Each structure stands twice: as C-alpha cells, then as structure tokens.
Amino acid sequence: GENVEQHPSTLSVQEGDSAVIKCTYSDSASNYFPWYKQELGKGPQLIIDIRSNVGEKKDQRIAVTLNKTAKHFSLHITETQPEDSAVYFCAASMGGGADGLTFGKGTHLIIQP
C-alpha cells in the first residue's frame, strides 16, 4: 500500500517568515495530494490540493508543488501569521479523490511572534 512520509514533525518560524513542509510518497500511481490544517480541538480542514497533471498550485499565501518523478510534494506558506499555527497533514490517494487517502503523521507549525 501507499506510504506517506512527512517532515518536519515540528516547525517553528518567526511571524512574517515562510514555512515549508515536505512529504514523500511511495506509490507512483498516486494522483491526488491534499493538505489539511487542524487547529486545536477541531477536525482537519482542507486548505489546498493538487493533482498529478499540474506541478504547482497557489492560493493567496499558500502554494503546493509536486514532483512526480521524485515522488514528493511540498506546502509553502509565505508571510506567516499567528493564525497559521496548527497541525498540517499531507495525504496521497491513487483514486483521484478521498478514497484510499493515506495521511502523513503531521507537522506542528508554530508561529513565533
């Protein structure tokens, strides 16, 4: 089955700086890569996703890049703000959707004031 590795497990950055979270996956058949943000006491919420037919997608301060050859994808957050503090999960799926999603173990992002 699919295996998703996520790094780092904890990331602390100064407010206003950029943050990058990286994930690798094992199955080259995976074609859907979402990112979820989980705030304390809440369920995860989708913030951005990318499919295998594109290499990069951007939404305001958030961007995701995908390298299918190397089987890795990354989340980039620019101009970080205190409300970006949360746990971020990457995931990969072969089904092109939520079916069979395999999640990484999460990154705890801490924005230092």
**Which positions touch other proteins (CB under 8 A)?**
4, 6, 9, 32, 34, 36, 41-46, 49, 89, 91, 93, 96-99, 101-106
Q: Which is nearer to other proteins, 23 or 111 (CB)?
A: 23
Cβ partners under 8 Å of residue 54, min gap 6? 66
* Least distance between other proteins and beta carbon 67 (Å): 21
Q: Which is nearer to other proteins, 90 or 111 (CB)?
A: 90
Strand partners for 48: 35
Q: Which is nearer to other proteins, 10 or 67 (CB)?
A: 10
CB 87 within 8 A of CB 108: yes
d(CA 76, CA 60): 11
* Least distance between other proteins and beta carbon 107 (Å): 10
Strand partners for 111: 13
